[in-house]
Amino acid sequence: MEKVLIANRGEIALRVIEACREEGLFSVAVYSEAEREALHVREATEAVCIGPADPRRSYLSIPALIAACEVTGADALHPGYGFLSENPDLAEICEAHGITFIGPSAEVLRLCGDKVAAKEAAKAAGLPVLPGSPPLSDENEAEKWAEDLGYPLLLKAAAGGGGRGIRLVRSPAELKTLFPQAKKEAELAFGDGRVFLERYVPEPRHVEVQILADKFGNVVHWGTRDCTVQRRHQKLVEEAPAPALPPKLRERISRAAVRLAEHLGYVGAGTVEFLVEGEDFYFIEVNARIQVEHPVSEMLVGRNLVREQLRVAQGKPLGYRQEQIELYGHAIECRINAEDPDRGFLPSTGRVWLHSLPGGMGIRVDTHIYHGMPVLPYYDPLLAKIIAHGEDREEARTRLYSALRRFQISGVKTNRDLLLSVISHPQFAMASLATDFLERIKLSR
């Protein structure tokens, strides 16, 4: 492997470029016509325009990406997160063209991209899963399963992601109206209309485990993360290690994740997601890619996870065992999005003007923004991730608070003030959280 094409944009494209530099690899940026000036275009060894602003014709176009690899002689492709990162077809086509896809095999991606199949695999590996149905073909079938499982239930898209397509169903009447809606929405959003029912956990915590596996069957975990603070099932604040978990439970969850990775023959970095209810935990899905919140785990482990992805893809062994991984301190990340709190958090567009940026002891800012950067309506609203690391949770939390205060930009509306309220909320300070936290404290509208 010599030259890596990054099939992505924004902060994650920059992260991959920097990791390539550390690993002694050349990088190729791709960009849409709307992002000629983007930082990832300037920072990569070379850059290729792959189409118009509409992501379906640029960042999501497999033919354009493969052509860009051929033109530049890139022999590997890093998909980042979102976009095509979990697309098994891209992994397969890369392989057919002699391009190393930096991620798990097409087979593993296909399985993990189907929440029902992934739950089956988790069950087979001995992990606890929530009772649920198979994909449902019509309302009658859904009703029968609902009766068996018992309300309240969640309707979920088998191919879902990004918190979309999840619906709470409390009665047969609701099921009747929501079932066709959910099916249609899943078809539109994911090109796959399969939906299923799952037991609803009323006040869970979202706990996930970072796993990493090489091509020689070595699997390690990088500990737990808590992503319980969510808005509409989308993560907003993430931290590592997951707080307020008995050490034994934390260990059991981490081991379960490793067991599943071994069972799947997983290669590369990935995340196994769970819901925690009291002393019980349930597998919900695998994200077979790098995740937005990976930095909090890096801060604890002291290694660059994207570089680890590059190393594993080159066929290098991990070179360390689980016992050699020490998780130091505590880290919290928050996602600054360009969205307007006064308009239901709709994406906000415009030019970004930078006034003050955070820094200092224990602060890391992962961002692609620059003074005068246009924020475009076509792409994800994520502007920056602010990560604070400290010896303990309280130190990380106060550092993050100061850093957020110093994050001052204008030109677009952001969720910064909401994040400040979350970080300074007594319940957050005590780590007494459930996924309904934002709704309860009425900050999210």
Residue 206 interacts with ligand ADP (CB under 6 A): yes or no: yes
Q: Which residues from 96-135 bind ligand ADP, rule CB under 6 A? A: 130
Question: Does 281 contact ligand ADP by CB under 6 A?
Answer: no
Whether 339 and 418 have beta carbons less than 8 Å apart is answered as: no
Question: What secondary structure letter does DSSP report for 269?
Answer: E
Among ligand ADP, Mg ion, none, partner that 239 touches (CB below 5 to 8 angstroms by kind): none
* Span interacting with Mg ion, options 46-54, 77-85, 133-141, 269-277, rule CB under 5 A: 269-277
Q: Are 27 and 44 in contact (CB under 8 A)?
A: yes
Query: In sequence order, what DSSP letters do the residues of 160-193 get, joined into one string?
Result: --TTTT-EEE-SHHHHHHHHHHHHHHHHHHHS--
Q: Is the bond leading into 152 cis (omega within 30 degrees of zero)?
A: yes
Using left for φ > 0, alpha for ψ between -120 and 50, and beta otherwise, residue 232 falls in left
Question: How near is the Cβ of 180 to ligand ADP at its closest, in Å?
Answer: 20
Q: How far is residue 317's CA from residue 179's CA, in Å, rounded to a whole number?
A: 47
Is-contact 206 287, C-beta < 8 A?
no
Minimum CB distance to ligand ADP smaller for 85 or for 105: 85
Residue 160 touches ligand ADP, criterion: CB under 6 A? yes
In the region spanning residues 271 to 310, those forming contacts with Mg ion, defined by CB under 5 A, are 273
Query: Which is the catalytic residue, given 289, 335, 397, 399?
Result: 289
285 interacts with ligand ADP by CB under 6 A: yes
Using CB under 6 A as the binding rule, whether residue 297 contacts ligand ADP is answered as no
Q: How far is the CB of 391 from Mg ion (least distance, A)?
A: 30
161 binds ligand ADP (CB under 6 A): yes
| Number of residues located near Mg ion, criterion CB under 5 A | 1
C-alpha span between 207 and 274 (Å, rounded):
5
Interaction of residue 437 with ligand ADP, rule CB under 6 A: no
Quick note: the x/- pattern for ligand ADP over 358-397, rule CB under 6 A, is ----------------------x-x---------------
Shortest distance, position 273 Cβ to ligand ADP, whole Å: 5
Identity of the amino acid at 393: R
Q: How far is the CB of 165 from Mg ion (least distance, A)?
A: 11
CB of 132 to ligand ADP, least distance (A): 8
**Residue 316 engages ligand ADP in binding (rule: CB under 6 A):** no
* CA nearest to 380, candidates 110, 98, 82: 82
How many Cα atoms occupy the beta-carbon half-sphere of 409 within 13 Å? 30
Comparing C-alpha atoms, which of 144, 148, 138 is closest to residue 180?
138
Decide: is 345 part of the binding site for ligand ADP (CB under 6 A): no
Residues 6+ apart with CB under 8 A from 99: 5, 66, 69, 74, 75, 76, 77
DSSP labels for 238-252?
Answer: EEESPSS--HHHHHH
Span near ligand ADP by CB under 6 A; candidates 42-50, 251-259, 280-288, 343-351 = 280-288
Residue 25 or 118 having the CB closest to ligand ADP: 118
Q: Is 232 a catalytic residue?
A: no
Residues 173-202 that bind ligand ADP (CB under 6 A): 190, 198-201
Task: Please list the residues that pair with 330 across neighbouring strands.
Answer: 390
Please choose, out of 70-78, 155-163, 314-322, 390-398, the segment that lies near ligand ADP by the rule CB under 6 A. Answer: 155-163
Q: Where are the beta strands (DSSP E) in 249-394?
A: 268-277, 280-287, 330-337, 339-340, 346-347, 350-351, 353-356, 363-367, 374-375, 382-390
Q: How far is CA 75 from CA 82, 94, 308, in A?
A: 22, 9, 18
| Binding residue count for ligand ADP, defined by CB under 6 A | 31
Catalytically annotated residues: 289
Residues that bind Mg ion (CB under 5 A): 273
Q: Which residues bind ligand ADP (CB under 6 A)?
A: 81-82, 130, 154, 160-163, 166, 190, 198-201, 204, 206, 230, 233-235, 273, 275, 284-285, 287, 291-293, 380, 382, 435
